[in-house]
């Protein structure tokens, strides 16, 4: 708000810039280091969500960036606030998500004395953020915030950290606002599209691999039309299942952890791999084993919005520096010729055979059957939010994502993501169904944000897969050190009572057949809810048991 003197505090200027750049939501944990910004929120129409821990606030901002393609915004205090928030900054980095985090900083005249909670944010976030900076001069707030938004959102998106000294925030200044930032689409050139057309025409068994960010519903629809027209099998990379309608007849499956062996075979024997949008990091490359480094064994096209990513590990036969949005638009502007061999149909049949029915599992709750019930009963556009743990293998295998951004989960494999992400989705889209799925270990990493859900009356259901252990690590332990259990057992709280203690709804399920009624009761409660599932620890993946993994490891060691 401008005073009679026509001046604004730097904090007011900053909040005005957020509105100009299109921000509607901010997530924060307050701190005395940025009181002036909290005060500027008071008169703004920003929707503020106050969180219980900065990791929660940063993950909420990351989730907003992920589904909207525009920077999610969070505010945290200096020192411990900023280091707590590193959880979300790292996810935004690895997942290529636009995010801007503002950190309250000590007053400028006390800097470099290691003042109370002082940190050098350029150094701390230097290797984690896409850009880390500090605003020294109040008059430069519009310029630096504008650069933060452009940097976070364009090319390969990522997190930007902006430290804001508390004395700078209260300075009163006369300064012009910046114009709104623009999302810059990088389009493929005509020569590149010609070369792409030639590679596609020559290929007998091509496969497309979708990943990364800078997609949209329109881009996904264009990709689906292209696949359909040219009978192209399409798979999605780890936690990017929402980039292709998984009920589409060209869908070939999830190239994540524990993929369908037939999908791996198909990719290995393919004669043209087209990677669109993704980094082809460790998981989609199956720990860098699927393709030869640096030159892949088959013709290889890599389309990525960040020029620095092209040729980073794999030297492609054709590198296209373009956003998936612009690339898929270019696909619609010309005709391609292609010797259709019907492999999309075969690929989809392999996918369906792998995912249509649940596998046999030890224990009275079969999580595969639960996932299949959810895929048949959730709203078509429901958000599914989850973190990391073996429980997620059932999501990737048995759920069927239909719409862009429906899967809100960290490709970086970070635990503790689901609850804050679900809070953010419900804040953004109160009208849409939101589900969180969490492991017992995973849930308690940021489960305190359940209180945030209660505070803002956000009715979403969290399904807790309770197997009494850090299952993923137990699985690795049994593989590498069979029978030597170390630091992977968990003694859990009563998760249903936890929900009730916070003011939500809680129920525990011991048998598969009781799940639908429990889930419906949770949804009908109109409250944030937890449905806890009692899972047999032996049910470690959809395909095997702990005992089998241990027995095989023992036999191999003999």
Residues that bind ligand TPP (CB under 6 A): 388-391, 413-416, 439-442, 465, 467, 469-473
Question: 421-460 mask for Mg ion (x: CB under 5 A)?
Answer: ------------------xxx-------------------
How far is C-alpha 173 from the geometric centre of its chain's CA atoms?
Answer: 38
Element containing residue 217 per DSSP (H, E) = helix 217-230
Q: Six-digit token pair at 21?
A: 């750049």
388 binds, among Mg ion, ligand TPP, none (CB under 5 to 8 A by kind): ligand TPP
d(CA 75, CA 34): 9
Minimum distance, C-beta of residue 481 to ligand TPP, in the bound complex (Å):
16
Minimum distance, C-beta of residue 363 to ligand TPP, in the bound complex (Å):
13
Q: Exposure pattern of 478-501 as b/e (b: 16+ CB <10 Å)?
A: beeebeeeeebebebeebbebbee
Three-state DSSP class for residue 246: coil
Compute the residue count for the chain: 558
Q: What burial class does residue 197 get, using C-beta atoms within 10 Å of its C-beta: 0-12 exposed, 13-18 middle, 19+ buried?
A: middle
407 binds, among Mg ion, ligand TPP, none (CB under 5 to 8 A by kind): none
324 binds, among Mg ion, ligand TPP, none (CB under 5 to 8 A by kind): none
213 binds, among Mg ion, ligand TPP, none (CB under 5 to 8 A by kind): none
Q: Are the beta carbons of 466 and 517 closer than 8 angstroms?
A: no
Minimum distance, C-beta of residue 364 to Mg ion, in the bound complex (Å):
17
155 binds, among ligand TPP, Mg ion, none (CB under 5 to 8 A by kind): none
Three-state DSSP class for residue 75: strand
Q: Six-digit token pair at 28?
A: 């924060």
406 binds, among Mg ion, ligand TPP, none (CB under 5 to 8 A by kind): none
Minimum distance, C-beta of residue 471 to ligand TPP, in the bound complex (Å):
3
473 binds, among ligand TPP, Mg ion, none (CB under 5 to 8 A by kind): ligand TPP
Minimum distance, C-beta of residue 381 to Mg ion, in the bound complex (Å):
29
Minimum distance, C-beta of residue 391 to Mg ion, in the bound complex (Å):
7
Identify which of residues 254 and 523 has a Cβ nearer to ligand TPP in the complex: 254
Q: Report the first-to-last Cα separation within the chain, whole angstroms.
A: 75
d(CA 166, CA 551): 60
Minimum distance, C-beta of residue 453 to ligand TPP, in the bound complex (Å):
19
Identify which of residues 74 and 533 has a Cβ nearer to ligand TPP in the complex: 533
**Site of tokens 């005709």:** 335
472 binds, among ligand TPP, Mg ion, none (CB under 5 to 8 A by kind): ligand TPP
Task: Answer yes or no whether residue 467 interacts with Mg ion by CB under 5 A.
Answer: yes
Q: Exposure pattern of 281-307 as b/e (b: 16+ CB <10 Å)?
A: bebbbbeeebbeeeebebbbbbbbbbe
Q: Six-digit token pair at 154?
A: 């364009």
Q: Are the beta carbons of 274 and 208 closer than 8 angstroms?
A: yes
* Contacts of Mg ion in 468-507 (CB under 5 A): 471
Minimum distance, C-beta of residue 540 to ligand TPP, in the bound complex (Å):
8
Identify which of residues 69 and 441 has a Cβ nearer to ligand TPP in the complex: 441
Identify which of residues 241 and 439 has a Cβ nearer to ligand TPP in the complex: 439
């Amino acid at each position: 708000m401008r005073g009679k003197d026509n001046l604004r505090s730097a904090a007011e200027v900053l909040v005005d810039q957020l509105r100009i750049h299109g921000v509607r939501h901010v997530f924060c944990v307050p701190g005395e280091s940025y009181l002036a910004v909290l005060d500027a929120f008071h008169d703004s129409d920003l929707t503020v969500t106050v969180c219980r821990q900065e990791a929660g606030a940063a993950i909420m901002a990351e989730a907003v960036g992920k589904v909207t393609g525009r920077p999610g915004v969070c505010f945290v205090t200096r020192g411990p606030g900023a280091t707590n928030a590193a959880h979300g900054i790292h996810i935004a980095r690895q997942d290529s998500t636009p995010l801007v985090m503002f950190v309250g900083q000590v007053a400028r005249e006390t800097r470099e004395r290691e003042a109370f909670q002082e940190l050098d944010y350029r150094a701390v976030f230097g290797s984690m953020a896409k850009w880390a900076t500090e605003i020294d001069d109040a008059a430069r707030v519009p310029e630096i915030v504008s650069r933060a938004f452009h940097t976070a959102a364009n090319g390969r998106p990522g997190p930007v950290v902006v430290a804001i000294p508390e004395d700078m925030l209260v300075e009163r200044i006369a300064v012009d606002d910046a114009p709104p930032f623009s999302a810059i689409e990088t389009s493929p050139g005509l020569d590149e599209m010609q070369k792409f057309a030639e590679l596609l025409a020559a290929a007998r068994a091509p496969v497309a691999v979708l990943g990364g960010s800078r997609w949209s519903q329109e881009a996904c629809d264009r990709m689906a039309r292209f696949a359909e027209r040219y009978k192209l099998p399409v798979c999605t990379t780890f936690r990017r299942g929402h980039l292709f309608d998984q009920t589409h007849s060209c869908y070939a499956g999830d190239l994540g952890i524990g993929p369908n062996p037939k999908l791996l075979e198909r990719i290995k024997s393919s004669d043209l791999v087209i990677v669109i949008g993704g980094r082809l990091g460790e998981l989609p490359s199956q720990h860098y084993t699927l393709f030869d480094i640096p030159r892949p064994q088959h013709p290889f096209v890599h389309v990525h919005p960040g020029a620095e990513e092209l040729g980073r590990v794999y030297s492609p036969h054709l590198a296209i520096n373009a956003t998936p949005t612009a690339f898929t638009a270019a696909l619609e502007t010309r005709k391609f010729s292609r010797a259709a061999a019907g492999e999309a149909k075969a690929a989809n049949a392999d996918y369906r055979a792998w995912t249509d029915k649940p596998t046999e599992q030890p224990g009275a709750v079969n999580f595969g059957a639960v996932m299949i019930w959810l895929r048949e009963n959730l709203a078509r556009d429901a958000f599914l939010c989850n973190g990391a743990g073996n429980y997620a293998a059932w999501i990737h295998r048995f759920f069927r994502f239909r719409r862009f951004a429906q899967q809100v989960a960290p490709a970086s494999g970070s635990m503790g993501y689901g609850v804050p992400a679900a809070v953010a989705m419900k804040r953004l889209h109160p009208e849409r169904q939101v589900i969180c799925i969490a492991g017992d270990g995973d849930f308690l990493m940021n489960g305190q944000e359940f209180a945030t859900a209660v505070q803002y009356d956000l009715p979403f259901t969290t399904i807790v897969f309770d197997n009494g252990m850090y299952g993923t690590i137990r699985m690795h332990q049994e593989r590498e050190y069979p029978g030597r259990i170390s630091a992977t057992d968990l003694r859990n709280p009563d998760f249903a009572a936890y929900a009730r203690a916070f003011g939500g709804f809680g129920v525990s399920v011991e048998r598969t057949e009781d799940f639908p009624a429990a889930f419906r009761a949770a949804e009908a409660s109109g409250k944030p809810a937890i449905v806890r599932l009692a899972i047999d620890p032996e049910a470690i993946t959809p395909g095997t048991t702990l005992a089998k993994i241990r027995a095989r490891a023992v036999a191999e060691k003999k």
